[in-house]
Structure 1
Amino acid sequence: MTRVVLVHGIAQELKGADTLLADWYPALCDGLALADGVGVARQEVAMAFYGDLFRPSGHRALGLPELDASDVQDGLERDLLLQWWESASAYETRVAGSDATARVRTPYLVQRALDALSHSSFFAGLSEHLMISSARQVRRYFSEPEIRAAVQDRLARQVTVRTEVIVAHSLGSVIAYEALCARPDWPDLTLVTLGSPLAVRGVVFDRLAPPPTGGLARWPIPVKAWINVADRGDAVALVKRLAPSFGGRVADVTVHNGARAHDVRPYLTARETGQAIGRALKGR
């Protein structure tokens, strides 16, 4: 019965499929209603939940050691935090920018990034531990094959012959893209990506499977239409347009999400998102 499959992003490990669906489904319906009135029943919507795969197992101590700047690993974790910082400072006046020119790893530079990001709209209220954990989830997805396979399997379990659209937010767009590329036998469907980091060179784009060739990523065969929605101030979606990296068939759309540019709920309530999903539901 699943017509719409939703795929969440980072930092959802303490939630669950029903918890997220209770939050996403009303926003999804609001966007559809604002667009053209197309409706979808809750039993026709599924959440591809994988957050528990990043949740630490039980521990005898009173808690796990808190992560700080000295725990940030060189490579993807560090580069991602610094890119988030650079992007957030470009769009938010309350986020201090970096005047550092050296790219060498120092806890001081990472600490400055964490301090600055704590004032950004997306990371406001999150501890250093959670910000580092968010970057670590991205690093683990790309560097641990068993995690990558298990996450994609969670999505594959939700896709049926009746699925008409996959709506993927943040890291979820990476998961959806790779799963669609790996399964050319899936039914034709529409892909809607929200706040996607897919085109970010160095940290995401160059790590995709299958790997891009000549600066262009492969088109996922089951996708008959791809609409990418981004807010100009979204610090996680560092590159707002996917068409130059994934082909001219991607329709890049800009929306305004207010203060919380990366939050999935204003993405879902946007008329443009509702129109994209509504067209997919009408088209079958």
Structure 2
Amino acid sequence: MVGVHGIGQQVQGEGRLLSSWWPALSDGTRRAGAEGLLEASDMEIAFYGDVFRPAGQMLAVDDLPYTAQDVEDRFERELLAAWWRAAADSDPEVVPPDADDTLASTPRSVQGALRALSGSRFFANIALRHMVADLKQVRSYLTDQTVRDNVRDRVTTAIGDDTRVVVAHSLGSVVAYEALCALPGHHVRALVTIGSPLGIRNLVFDRLIPTPTGSRKEARGVWPGGSELVWTNLAGKGDVVALVKDLRLGFGENIRCAVLSTGTHAHDATAYLTDELCGKAIIEALA
């Protein structure tokens, strides 16, 4: 089994992520009635966070110097606006943006979006500089081919002939999807995506490799495996990153989609991994 982490993990590592993912995943399989089926040695974390780790800041690498002024290009502002709208939809304490607000006008509007998000339940404990850093990681992967190749290679290298399950979180679900598409004939039986932004048209879906086919409104993404692959997508009710909860419109009716209660830390990977539905998706592939 291979786990693929999401954004904001640049100061983590394979060992640290495994130490948090494995107990949570074990709880999920226990909820699904398969306690003891797996051991920690059965799981590997495909780590790519260091690709985004800033150079020359070895003594304070976690202190990213980003401000609202650094949300500079159209992609980052449109994604920030999408997060803001999603947060307002799920949290009555968040003042919604104007219907046509893409934050493309002034840094002040960007500052307003960041301020609104910082007061939401979802982003309550996330510093402004980290929100901006997360925006830049998503943009970098989807628009910089060198970064994309480097990150995706980490995942394709981790997926071997004996890999049967891939569990991918957040941006990692985009990486895992593209990695599986780039590995024809792989033996993965279950792809479990959690907190995934794959369904966000224009910003994410339309930028996938391979490119979705068909007219823009009805485009379909390539199926990332053979007929034996079972794809399960889990989205938290309040997870702003998993903006589109149902991926069937973009990838076909074969995807099993579910909405979960992931608590106050709606996007946290471990909140997904402990759920019974996540455990079932994993053990079904190994039965």
Between the aligned partners of 1:131 and 1:12, the Cα distance in structure 2 is 13
Alignment counterpart, residue 27 of structure 2, candidates 25, 30, 44: 30
Between the aligned residues of both structures, percent identity stands at: 44
Query: Residue 148 of structure 1 aligns to which amino acid in structure 2?
Result: R
Kindly state the Cα deviation for residue 154 of structure 1 after the two structures are TM-superposed. 0.8
Between the aligned partners of 1:224 and 1:203, the Cα distance in structure 2 is 26
Residue 4 of structure 2 contacts residue 46 of structure 2 at CA under 8 Å; is this kept in 1?
yes
Q: Aligned in 2, Cα 1:102/1:157: closer, same or farther, shift over 3 Å?
A: closer
Q: Secondary structure at the match of 1:228?
A: strand
Between the aligned partners of 2:182 and 2:58, the Cα distance in structure 1 is 40
Query: Residue 129 of structure 1 aligns to which amino acid in structure 2?
Result: R
Q: Aligned in 2, Cα 1:44/1:238: closer, same or farther, shift over 3 Å?
A: same
Q: Secondary structure at the match of 1:116?
A: helix
Residue 32 of structure 2 contacts residue 280 of structure 2 at CA under 8 Å; is this kept in 1?
yes
Q: Aligned in 2, Cα 1:65/1:277: closer, same or farther, shift over 3 Å?
A: closer
Alignment partner, residue 262 of structure 2? 257
Alignment counterpart, residue 227 of structure 1, candidates 229, 232, 243: 232
Q: CA RMSD in A?
A: 1.8
Q: Provide Cα deviations, 1:196-222, integer angstroms capped at 9, x if missing partner.
A: 110101110010011111211111124
Residue 74 of structure 1 contacts residue 105 of structure 1 at CA under 8 Å; is this kept in 2?
no
> Mean Cα displacement is larger for which, 153-162 or 49-58?
153-162
Between the aligned partners of 2:164 and 2:179, the Cα distance in structure 1 is 15
Is residue 2:16 matched to residue 1:19?
A: yes
Query: Residue 15 of structure 1 aligns to which amino acid in structure 2?
Result: Q
Alignment partner, residue 128 of structure 2? 128
Query: Residue 212 of structure 2 aligns to which amino acid in structure 1?
Result: P
Query: Residue 34 of structure 2 aligns to which amino acid in structure 1?
Result: G
Alignment counterpart, residue 58 of structure 1, candidates 56, 59, 63: 56
Between the aligned partners of 1:251 and 1:266, the Cα distance in structure 2 is 19
TM-score, with length taken from structure 1: 0.93
Alignment partner, residue 94 of structure 1? 93
**Matched pairs, number:** 279
| Long gaps (5+) in structure 2 | none
Alignment counterpart, residue 216 of structure 1, candidates 204, 214, 220: 220
Give structure 1 regions of 4+ aligned residues with deviation exceeding 4 angstroms.
Answer: 59-65
Between the aligned partners of 1:109 and 1:197, the Cα distance in structure 2 is 24
Kindly state the Cα deviation for residue 62 of structure 1 after the two structures are TM-superposed. 7.6
Residue 81 of structure 2 contacts residue 101 of structure 2 at CA under 8 Å; is this kept in 1?
no
Is residue 2:271 matched to residue 1:266?
A: yes
TM-score, with length taken from structure 2: 0.92
Between the aligned partners of 1:235 and 1:60, the Cα distance in structure 2 is 31
